[in-house]
Chains A and B, each alone.
Chain A
Amino acid sequence: MDEKKTTPLLDELEAGEWPSFVTQLKQAAKKSKMAAGLVQQLEASYEEKIGHWKHGGIVGVKGYGGGVVGRYSDDPERFPDCREFHTLRVNQVAGFFYSTKKLRELADVWDKYGTGLYNLHGSTGDIILLGTDTQNVQPCFDALSEIGFDLGGSGGALRTPSCCVGMARCEKACIDSMDINHNLTLHYQNEMHRPAWPYKFKIKISACPNDCAASTARSDLAIVGLWRDTIEIDQDAVREYVANGFKLEENVLRRCPTWALDWDAENKELKVKAEDCTHCMHCINAMPKAIRIGKERGAAIMIGGKAPVVKGANIGWVLVPFMKMEAPYTELKEIIDRVTDYWAEHGKNRERVGELIDRVGYATFLKAIGLEPVPQMVTAPRANPYIFWSAEEVEKRG
């Protein structure tokens, strides 16, 4: 062992009630020299208020163009133990369910080939294995594949789709988000592992408009479950809420954005104007025992969601207001293929699909992928008179 190195700044983050990542790092550092190197470099970052990772590296496994993020210390002489500190992105199980057997197998592999440090999970959804060196990347992947774990995406490629818990444990699930997630992940392995697109592309699936997977904000193509008939009301259960002192008027009726709910006090009946309901979920969230999603279920497809880099953040736009979602999801895949083909053909380097739509116009984009415009796609029609007309739409002159 070298001279005892101290980490006074990181030590302060071991105190307090919330679970400490520093404690996790230090435990790993007892077993892994590379993890110990990370602790030293991180302490230096805290002291100097600057990161110590070099500009992105390029490391990989045979047959794939992504899935491993190469990482090198910017000061390998000072931090020799973490001079190489690569990340493997690993496909998570849909809905983040695991048997302990599978997790233990994963831990054994990662202890053997890396630091034994993880993000569970990364913010995109993958299992993130943090810290291994170049020579261990391929053997680690080989061992992962033995236990049934494959790599996720990086670079100009699809990221591992992610989803909410859906039907596995939620009464609001309008679609089978986990099955769609698993099906798409398997179907698009090539698009994930061999980058050939202008930039990243994310797909996320939420089984209802509460959007627990943050799909509309965080994915280029979001699938959000919803129903298009009316909500189901269990009147006895409503009466029970009311009898128990639930503030129906204040917490539900007045919070309904379209005033679609009325309480018939005389007959003690909650009435809904189905055509006014926007499926916003508020009443269902507030009274889960009494109000349920409708029966005619499917999903909306939203397009173009992304964080700010580079031309500003988008919350996804409606591409399809309603689509049935039944395995093997052929219609959905056709839409995804048309969108990604058009984007791959017309997108500039590092241009997300939302930015491409902003550049070429939504009407052009819709025409290119063969979708008819519908009012649900806009918050309001155009307010300016600068309309594009094609030659076929006007009378020929002269």
Chain B
Amino acid sequence: MNYIEVNGVKIELDEDGFIVEPDLWSEDLVKAFAKTEGVEELTEDHWKVINYLRDYFKQFGIAPMIRKLCKDTGFSLKEIYDLFPSGPAKGACKLAGLPKPTGCV
């Protein structure tokens, strides 16, 4: 099993590094994830995206489509990738504690 340690507590991750128990999400977890996803320093802009994703998921039960994410946060797709180098699905959704995106391959 994969784990990530946050404040001395081991949190279970799936093979792609997404949290298994959505209820165990915390801001400290985001800080721990940031390192693994190539986010050097969490800024206000990062939190804007993360909070948007969490709010959207809470309201609708789904992750927003990427175009919607860009429109609603005001960030271009390029800016999203600058913030989260591993992209909105693998990066931002992971930090926001959303279920692993299951888009088509």
Contact = CB atoms under 8 A, between A and B. Distances in A.
Interface stretch (A26-34, A51-59, A258-266): A51-59
B90 A56 contact: no
Contact of A56 (B62, B70, B105): B105
Interface in B80-105: 81, 85-90, 100-105
Contact of B89 (A58, A63, A199): A58
Contact of A196 (B70, B90, B102, B104): B70
B77 interface: yes
B105 A155 contact: yes
Interface residues of A, number: 30
B16 A59 contact: yes
A154 B105 contact: yes
B103 A195 contact: yes
Nearest to A70: B16
Contacts of A55: 102
Contacts of A155: 89, 103-105
Interface string A185-208: 000001000111111100000000
B22 interface: no
A164 B103 CA distance: 29
A345 interface: yes
A225 interface: no
A272 interface: no
B89 A65 contact: yes
B67 A344 contact: yes
A84 B67 contact: no
A156 B104 contact: yes
> Taking chain A's interface residues, is the majority helix, strand, or loop, or is none over half, making it mixed?
loop
B66 interface: yes
B38 interface: yes
A149 interface: no
B65 A65 contact: no
A186 B21 CA distance: 41
Given A57-B16, A154-B105, A155-B104, A62 B86 contact: yes
B105 A195 contact: no
Interface in A239-286: none
Which of the listed residues A156, A344, A350 has the most CB atoms from chain B within 10 Å of its own CB? A156
B87 A64 contact: yes
Interface string B26-37: 000000000000
Which of the listed residues A58, A196, A344, A350 has the most CB atoms from chain B within 10 Å of its own CB? A58
Nearest to B93: A58
A156 B63 CA distance: 14
B81 A63 contact: yes
A330 interface: no
A349 B62 CA distance: 11
A226 interface: no
A190 B18 CA distance: 26
Given A84-B15, A155-B105, A194-B77, A60 B86 contact: yes
B105 A69 contact: yes
A322 interface: no
Contact of B67 (A63, A70, A190, A345): A345
Which of the listed residues B38, B62, B104 has the most CB atoms from chain A within 10 Å of its own CB? B104
A96 interface: no
Contacts of B77: 190, 194, 196
16 contacts: A54-B15, A58-B16, A58-B90, A58-B100, A60-B86, A62-B85, A63-B81, A65-B90, A155-B105, A190-B77, A194-B77, A194-B87, A195-B66, A196-B66, A199-B104, A345-B67
